[in-house]
């Protein structure tokens, strides 16, 4: 089993390295692409399955990320054209907060994985950071 701190420090190192080498804009584009590749690989390996409904696809990914220990708990709610996602105790939260504070680009692993499942233009309209949670609202 990989320890959370190891994965978090690895994430910090990769994200900072990409940000320095490519700049934040190209790094962000690379991470979006990585989300698409990751989604495709999860489907191919049958770790997740694809549903007819966008919301069911998001719920499937949420359940998977909780199961593998990427985060402690995730709640996904659908409000018509908006989706609210509350994530608790994300293992990459310390490195992501540090990267943002230092003006580098975090990987947004869960966000870009879910964006790939939706395969449409998504606008993140709100991000709220708490001590042990992150809450995002997306306009789909």
Q: Over the stretch 40-82, which tens digit does the pLDDT of each residue have?
A: 999 999 999 999 998 999 999 999 999 999 999 999 999 888 9
> Looking at the domain that runs over 4-139, which CATH code has it been given?
3.30.1380.20
Phi-psi region of 33 (alpha: psi -120 to 50; beta: other; left: phi over 0): alpha
Residue 135: partners with Cβ closer than 8 Å, 6 or more residues away: 84, 85, 86, 87, 126, 127, 128
Percent of the chain's residues with pLDDT above 90: 86
Which of 96, 85, 105, 91 minimizes the C-alpha distance to 21?
105
Span 111-126, pLDDT tens digits = 999 999 987 888 899 9
C-alpha span between 99 and 27 (Å, rounded): 12
pLDDT for the residue numbered 120: 84
pLDDT for 129 beyond 90: no
What pTM did the predictor assign? 0.90
Quick one: average pLDDT of 6-22?
97
73 in Cβ contact with 121 (< 8 Å):
no
* Domain spans, the chain: 4-139
């Amino acid at each position: 089993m990989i320890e959370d701190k190891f994965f978090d420090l690895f994430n910090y190192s990769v994200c900072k390295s990409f940000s320095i080498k490519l700049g934040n804009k190209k790094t962000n584009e690379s991470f979006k692409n990585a989300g698409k590749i990751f989604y495709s690989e999860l489907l191919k390996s049958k770790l997740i399955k694809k549903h007819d409904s966008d919301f069911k696809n998001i719920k499937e990914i949420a359940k998977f990320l909780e199961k593998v220990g990427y985060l402690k708990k995730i709640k996904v709610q659908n409000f018509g054209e908006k989706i609210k996602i509350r994530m608790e105790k994300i293992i990459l939260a310390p490195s992501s907060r540090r990267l943002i504070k230092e003006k580098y680009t975090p990987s947004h692993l869960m966000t870009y994985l879910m964006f790939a499942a939706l395969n449409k233009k998504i606008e993140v309209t709100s991000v709220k950071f708490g001590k042990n949670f992150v809450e995002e609202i997306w306009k789909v």
